[in-house]
Structure 1
Amino acid sequence: MSLGSGIDHWGTNPGDSIDAALTAIESSVQELLATDPAYWRTGQKKDLLERLEKLQAQQAALKLRVLAVGGDIAEETGAKDASGWLRTELLVDKTVARAQIKLAVGVAKYDLVAAGLAEGVVSLDKARVIIKALDKIGTDPVASADDLVLAEKLLIDHATHLTANELRIVGNRILAEIDPERFEDAEAKALLAEEERAQQKTALRVWDNYDGTIGFDGVLPTSVGMRFKRLVEAYAQPRKQQLVDKGAPLPPWERLMGQGFSRLLETIDPAALPRHGGDATTINVVISLEELHKDLGVATLGYDETNGTTISAAEARRMACNATIIPWVLGGDSEVLDAGRGSRFFQPIQRKALRLQAKCCQAEGCDMPPEWCDAHHLDPWAAGGKTNLNDGALLCPHHHRLAHNPAYVHERLPDGPIRFTRRP
């Protein structure tokens, strides 16, 4: 690879030396790649990782220097800027390419950041954090040019012993560190303004993927978002620990968090929910009597097939055990044959009694703690089952799904556990 042999501003001809240096780097990397780290000593692995971290910062510094003065590349190729050339020639995504150009411009503004990258003491991630903090200071009406210089020095120093995330927190308060008396009031006002903006940015979007899943994304204020994260983790972590204790393979943490979020929604106390359309917040499940008795029947979440979402009858039966739903059973002419009542749900005192009796999930061989279990009707309410302790059983979410899965049958053994068997 050659960078050309043009004359630079200092009157030297660096073309050959640049090409030789890059060739040496490429050769050294190939030599390392030809070896197997599995046979390296521990000290060699540690040394390589430490030195590569520094080299990556220096490589980034070099790349950003070139991009900062890469206007001639765009001019020669007809691109709008160097990011256009990155997209067409190096197949770099548009947003990534533009972010690199923006960072190159930012680094060029701050000599200490550029020097820190070149020395390898400031990583690329930390450089982004520092530049963002400095740019914010530059627009602060209370901060002076001297404050900006001092902030850059302090952040470079902090970068030598903090992670990028820790540095981001320090960067948000760096002015208060410089002059507490002058900047604390300004910081408080800025935080209030930031929190107000966060309220305006709050959003939630929910959509049906039409594959048995619902997708959603959104933005929450930091205080609410962290609380949300902790609540979901409170349901996900015990599940992980259960698998660890059993020596079972761990699913991805994202899946555990998703299952924890599902559990959080399923266990919300309906009495604590706001009124919705005149009634306590509920989900209506509409199902015909014929479909209700089928192992592979279907039901609708909503009031009709047009405006609702289709689910299996098995899932509807599972939800009826512990979700806040109204199951509407319709006859052949869509007349209402039966509407669910509160008595169909196990009451809190009954759940406590079941937990006291069972100690854990009652499925054979399962020891999921009782607080993570659902109360299940052994005789389905659709078949006339009653909501009482004799007909109730504690099942973890996994076995509760199996209890309503047409592919499985279950029976209570004489000594109490519930055995699941796959249908032949």
Structure 2
Amino acid sequence: MAIEQHPGIPAGSPAEEIRKGLAGVLRGVERAVGAEVAPGHREGLTQAMAALAGGQDALDLAAARLAARMRETGALAGSDHSTVTGLLRDNGRSLAQAKDIVRVAQHMDEYGDSVRAAESGEIGFAHLAKIVAECENATDKRPTGEYPDAAGFRAKAEPIMLQAAKAGADKSGLGKIGRTLVCRISPKTHEEENRRAYEERRARFVKNRFGFTFDVQGDIASEHILASAVDCHLAPPGEGDERTMDERRFDALIQLCENRLIAEGVEVPVPEEGSDAATALAVPRPCSCGGRKGAGRPLVNITVPLAALRGEEGAEPAVSDRDRVLPGSAARAFSTDCVLQRIVTDPVSGKVLDVGTARRLFPDKVRHALAARTTVCQWEEGCTTPVRWCEADHRTEWWEGGATTVENGQMLCGRHNREKHRRRAEAHYLATDRRPRARRGGTSHREPGGGEAGPDPPGD
């Protein structure tokens, strides 16, 4: 384990001092490995390993400082290497390790708090590199209209990541938090993008000579509803089933439509016997209730902190079981009338701490009483959707203290329930936006069921 000697290194130079220091480290390791360990005195090996591991973090941070100085002085000019990354690679570091060192070197002045935490041993060098990488990635994706200055965005992103690292989040956990930084720091932009996706929604049905093309696009909430409905009809491939996933998904969509026609008492078109369509539809698939008598509608499962429902600034956003970050309005819409199962997670590690019993927010007797008051959706601007297709909705939301009662309830179709929360979120951000801004469109944003939407946190 001897350090290779490099003739030509000047005596008394920093390079010689580093070489001697590393040689001393390796001698200490050799002593620890070769020493006889008396019974009950194994702590010496543990201490040696802890010192070596901590020393590695210190060496990586020192390498980053040296790389920053080399960059500042142009030290590579005229050398055999054009980049510090290449120099590190040629001296035994992996590409990932070299990139981490160089990235930290490039941004040491911009992440002073995180660098100081690494120097004091509060976080490791791997944590520091991950903080810089995730914050820089989010900074590149920031809404430049709201944050024209990158430094202003970094100033909000770094504390979120550093707090998680100090609390013990590993690199994977930091990566999950990093993917939500833009949504956490600028939820308004997330809402605007979701609104734009909804306004550009379409289902384009194009017939051709032998069939058709069905092209669909829309917002993230609609994606979850459509995907969950199709998945409910999607049987796992059985023995001899050679259909592709796209073909199986198509067959599931056709069965979903068949079930709707049957429920409405409409005759279902029967394909010609022996045709490809007849063969595909004959493949065994689960019924719409998943084979369980009396089962409820499919669930869209989301993990949403209470702070996100209340619209608190910087709250961790909701994430669905499809690994999609939901805008606040979509999370609130999904949380109004659903089979709710309380899942309490650690805000840093994501570890599940407690799972409560699943229950519906509105008991059946309250839902029936609400449905008895109307025959259609109670959207204030008018809607003809039959009440049997509507959801029970809180006028004042349960996370804001609203009671689950007939007096505080109304029936809204899914589309208008989501629209209500989109409008409330938009009204909130318009009211709290400090920048001068012209009022859009002249549409009055009113809470369905009465009441002007004010600057309270988004919700009902």
When normalised by structure 2's length, the TM-score is: 0.35
Higher helix fraction: Structure 1 or Structure 2?
1
Higher strand fraction: Structure 1 or Structure 2?
1
When normalised by structure 1's length, the TM-score is: 0.37
